[in-house]
Structure 1
């Protein structure tokens, strides 16, 4: 059984009361539930007479038999089944509570896949603008050329194509962002590198580091691929020494080099008391955090 969505589906029924609908055929220009939805499938539909209406879901159990499984809302403001005592029209369509809509003027299809049986196939979506069975009121919009998935005016997901940035706003306040800025930006490393410090210096692995400049024994410059936002960033340094070494060896920012947004100069020193010796490490690591 699948939950389906089809256009132009409408039939009549006579005095269903609060029970199952016995469908009486489609008016000219409309399709029947059996031809469009298909026996065994479920769908959303609206029942109405001249004064009352009901929005519900149900299953077409036979070609002219449509069950009323769950009432979503009705003209009485409840979720009880309306007692229809006369002729009614039955319309098939997605409900406001169970759909995702593209904003007016937005073109392009919406594609849907789901492993279970509760989603409509993409090709069957009305005007390719509705997704059935969502549990919240969602709609797609475009703001400044960027897509926005809205839950309501104060809760939404948005993507900034220019800055390659995805953000989530809850209650009107941005709570999460992945990209170049945002409330968690400072908790994500802006650059890191692990490199060999002896012989020909080479990068083992890195992020946002374009190269390492060997300035001499124990003296290196890390060059960033993309510049840091400012020179107030923090850093962490680590060093690997040769097996059997008894000296305390550590990395430090090069004392003769000013902070830069495009590079970082560091030194490797070994404490061989009472002396301090500049030395090449077996390998060195550095990580950088900032705005």
Structure 2
């Protein structure tokens, strides 16, 4: 979305409640175009055009697992499997230059067996698509809350081995980015798990060690030494009060639609 695309609204939220547009939205920012459904074909095409206009080349799509698996849904009980399929189809049909990376979400019961099954499913369904972002021929996977699985479980998937869950060197292989949250996650999580790199997810510098810009030079030095890819996350403001009402210390304003906050991040990291 462009600068000025949202204005902020205030509503009393109850933890665990379901959000019901148009009066109650998941976000504290209200779209100038009004509430919309992410399954709307024309809306998806408009977003793709806006991304291209603003130089956004990659869409990282939230995915909560295949629709047939019990528990594969987000906190609003929405499964994103069909949404992902629709976005990829629209990119293919319109010829949009935007490419898709997968954001693997921590659905209930996620384990190494399910992750292997997920990768097999996504490989079979989408590996022939030109809409996917590929690095050295491999699709890109961001793994949110990757620390919730032990590094040893990830290693059975991501470190080349002869076991039944190994994906390295197979059609299921990809470029996998784990979440760096705490100070020692590099040595204790990213490295032993076999991730190709890491990202920080949060766009507020008060959420975690990994999200603080002052820590990024050290994290980048570590990444270079270990031959890992570092993907820092930035954004035009941050407000997750509707899903984490206790997290007010992490809020960052958008300024005039986000342009000031965005430029401030860019200046500090270039």
Task: Compute the TM-score of the two structures, normalised by the length of structure 1.
Answer: 0.22
- Give the number of the structure whose residues are more often helix, by fraction: 2
- Give the number of the structure whose residues are more often strand, by fraction: 1
Is the radius of gyration larger for structure 1 or structure 2? Answer: 1
Higher relative contact order (CA 8 A, sep 6+): 2
Task: Compute the TM-score of the two structures, normalised by the length of structure 2.
Answer: 0.23
